[in-house]
């Protein structure tokens, strides 16, 4: 099948969330029409998700030091791969992968270059703006939310970049639903009481994730929540000591559980009675889509990405507002089974309609720069 279009996908690492993102993108390139190679710059080889098995996968297993500075050796390696294989489409996820792609691209190789921007401030460094300018006539940038897209435009408008769009992150709903653990098994795995009312969150223990606001809100209303209320925090990071001190100051050590890093944490969201994401700044918030798909009532701080994801599918409160967060906790806890079912069903429907791999894939193929390849996707 030598007539297949060759596609290169470059990912920062083979770990969350990029393995899921790469898997979703892979599903949009039918193997009978596309010859897909996915490169993971960091992360050791391990079993792959379903869609990535239909293409070739390469694991560079680089150290963090290899991704600092100008990254000349890596740029040269990707340049050689692009020249040898003559890729028609090159997709790079995250800032360093975009940098490498732009540095490796030859001026006359004709490949469609796609940079998927997953965070704010990616084009703040002058070196990245220079590479973007050098490839401005064929570099297409995708922000994972409208907020990220606007941030990219602010940084690159003076460079003459015109091809900047929004394509959300997404979730392979069928595969994800198959991974969900039954509620009792999930509680047993996480070490949660069977009869407890559990508020949960998941993410790095980093100051920007603002777990402190959630801890203070939970502590302020704990006695008004259902009996045996617990706050379960899944994640690890350098803020753990400070957060444990906060828990001690709030006198709720017996009710706040630090569960550490939980591999594939979202499969255990079924153990929760409510999921809360208190982050001060979210570029998207894939974890919210996972909670929506898991059928858990959701609340989040109203950062731009979280607001876009939730819409009417959950409760929002102002960033860093302890009182508002506490009121949301009480409101959700007051719902009866019927209201809870209505809310979670609406959230699940939104997740399917807006953030399923098939829905987002349709949006991807409707982007202007993909239309010249579209016939290969649909034949």
282: buried, middle or exposed (CB in 10 Å: 19+, 13-18, 0-12)?
buried
Supply the pLDDT for residue 375. Answer: 58
Task: State the residue for tokens 């070739």.
Answer: 56
Q: Is 50 left (phi over 0), alpha (psi -120 to 50) or beta?
A: alpha
Which pair of structure tokens corresponds to residue 12? 């920062």
**Rounded mean pLDDT, 354-369:** 94
Q: Are 40 and 8 in contact (CB under 8 A)?
A: no
Question: Higher model confidence: residue 1 or residue 151?
Answer: 151
Per-residue model confidence as pLDDT tens digits over 238-259: 999 999 999 999 999 999 999 9
Whether 76 shows a pLDDT value over 90: the answer reads yes
Distance CA 45, CA 302 (A): 37
Consecutive H or E run containing 173? helix 173-179
Supply the pLDDT for residue 318. Answer: 97
DSSP string of 122-156?
A: TT-SHHHHHHHHHTTTTEEEEESSHHHHHHHHHHH
Whether 263 shows a pLDDT value over 70: the answer reads yes
Supply the pLDDT for residue 377. Answer: 54
The answer to whether the bond into 70 is cis (omega within 30° of 0) is no
Supply the pLDDT for residue 260. Answer: 96
In the chain the domains, ranked by start, together with CATH numbers, are: 5-170+356-378 (3.40.50.2000), 173-354 (3.40.50.2000)
Q: Are 96 and 67 in contact (CB under 8 A)?
A: yes
Angle between helix 337-355 and helix 286-293 axes, rounded to 10 deg: 130
Q: Are 90 and 111 in contact (CB under 8 A)?
A: yes
Distance CA 291, CA 348 (A): 9
Supply the pLDDT for residue 376. Answer: 55
- Bridge-partner residues for 317, per DSSP? 301
- Of 34, 48, 24, 56, the C-alpha closest to 174 is 24
- Of 271, 300, 303, the C-alpha closest to 287 is 300
Q: Is the dihedral of CA 66, 67, 69, 72 positive or negative?
A: positive
Whether 106 shows a pLDDT value over 80: the answer reads no
**Rounded mean pLDDT, 156-161:** 80
The conformation of residue 94, written as its DSSP 8-state character, comes to: S
Range of lowest pLDDT (34-43, 159-168, 180-189)? 159-168
**Rounded mean pLDDT, 278-286:** 93
The overall average pLDDT reported for the chain is 91
Please state the φ and ψ torsions of residue 8, each to the nearest 5 degrees: -115, 130
Consecutive H or E run containing 355? helix 337-355
* Adjacency order of strands within the sheet including 164-166: 56-59, 34-42, 5-13, 89-93, 112-117, 139-143, 164-166
Distance CA 129, CA 158 (A): 10
Per-residue model confidence as pLDDT tens digits over 310-353: 988 899 999 999 999 999 999 999 999 999 999 999 999 999 99
Q: Output the CA–CA distances (angstroms, integers) from residue 168 to 64, 96, 141, 212, in the order listed.
A: 27, 20, 12, 28
Distance CA 314, CA 309 (A): 9
Please state the φ and ψ torsions of residue 165, each to the nearest 5 degrees: -135, 175
Consecutive H or E run containing 113? strand 112-117
Query: Cα torsion for 180, 28, 142, 135, to the nearest 10°?
Result: 140
Supply the pLDDT for residue 348. Answer: 95
Please state the φ and ψ torsions of residue 131, each to the nearest 5 degrees: -65, -40
Whether 374 shows a pLDDT value over 70: the answer reads no
Q: Are 62 and 42 in contact (CB under 8 A)?
A: yes
Supply the pLDDT for residue 208. Answer: 94
Per-residue model confidence as pLDDT tens digits over 108-155: 678 899 999 999 999 988 888 888 888 888 899 999 999 999 999 988
Angle between helix 126-134 and helix 146-156 axes, rounded to 10 deg: 80
DSSP string of 236-282?
A: --TTHHHHHHHHHHTT-TTTEEEEE--TTGGGGGGG-SEEEE--S--
């Amino acid at each position: 099948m030598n007539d297949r279009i060759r596609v290169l996908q470059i990912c920062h690492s083979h770990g969350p969330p990029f393995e899921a993102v790469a898997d979703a993108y892979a599903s949009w390139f039918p193997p009978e029409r596309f010859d897909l190679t996915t490169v993971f710059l960091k992360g050791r080889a391990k079993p792959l998700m379903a869609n990535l098995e239909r293409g070739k996968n390469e694991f560079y297993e680089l150290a963090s030091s290899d991704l600092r500075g100008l990254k000349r050796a890596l740029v040269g390696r990707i340049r050689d791969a692009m020249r040898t294989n003559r890729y028609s489409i090159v997709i790079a996820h995250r800032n360093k992968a975009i940098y490498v792609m732009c540095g490796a691209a030859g001026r006359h190789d004709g490949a469609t270059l796609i940079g998927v921007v997953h965070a704010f401030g990616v084009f703040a460094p002058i070196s990245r703006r220079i590479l973007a300018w050098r490839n401005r006539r064929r570099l297409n940038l995708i922000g994972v939310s409208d907020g990220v897209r606007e941030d990219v435009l602010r940084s690159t408008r003076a460079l003459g970049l015109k091809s900047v769009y929004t394509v959300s992150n997404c979730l392979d709903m069928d595969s994800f639903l198959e991974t969900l653990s039954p509620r009792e098994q999930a509680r047993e795995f996480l070490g949660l009481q069977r009869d407890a009312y559990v508020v949960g969150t998941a993410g790095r223990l980093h100051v920007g994730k603002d777990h402190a606001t959630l801890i203070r809100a939970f502590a302020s209303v704990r006695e008004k929540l259902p009996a045996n209320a617990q706050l379960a925090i899944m994640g690890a990071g350098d803020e753990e000591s400070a957060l444990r001190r906060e828990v001690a100051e709030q006198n709720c050590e017996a009710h706040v559980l630090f569960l550490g890093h939980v591999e594939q944490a979202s499969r255990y969201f079924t153990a929760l009675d409510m999921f809360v994401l208190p982050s001060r700044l979210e570029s998207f918030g894939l974890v919210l889509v996972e909670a929506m798909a898991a059928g858990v009532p959701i609340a989040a701080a109203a950062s731009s990405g979280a607001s876009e994801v939730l819409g009417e599918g959950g409760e929002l409160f102002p960033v860093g507002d302890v009182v508002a967060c506490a009121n949301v906790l009480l409101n959700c806890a007051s719902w009866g089974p019927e209201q809870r079912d209505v809310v979670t069903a609406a959230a699940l429907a939104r997740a399917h309609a807006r953030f399923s791999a098939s829905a987002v894939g349709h949006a991807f193929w409707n982007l202007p720069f993909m239309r010249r390849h579209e016939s290969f996707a649909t034949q």
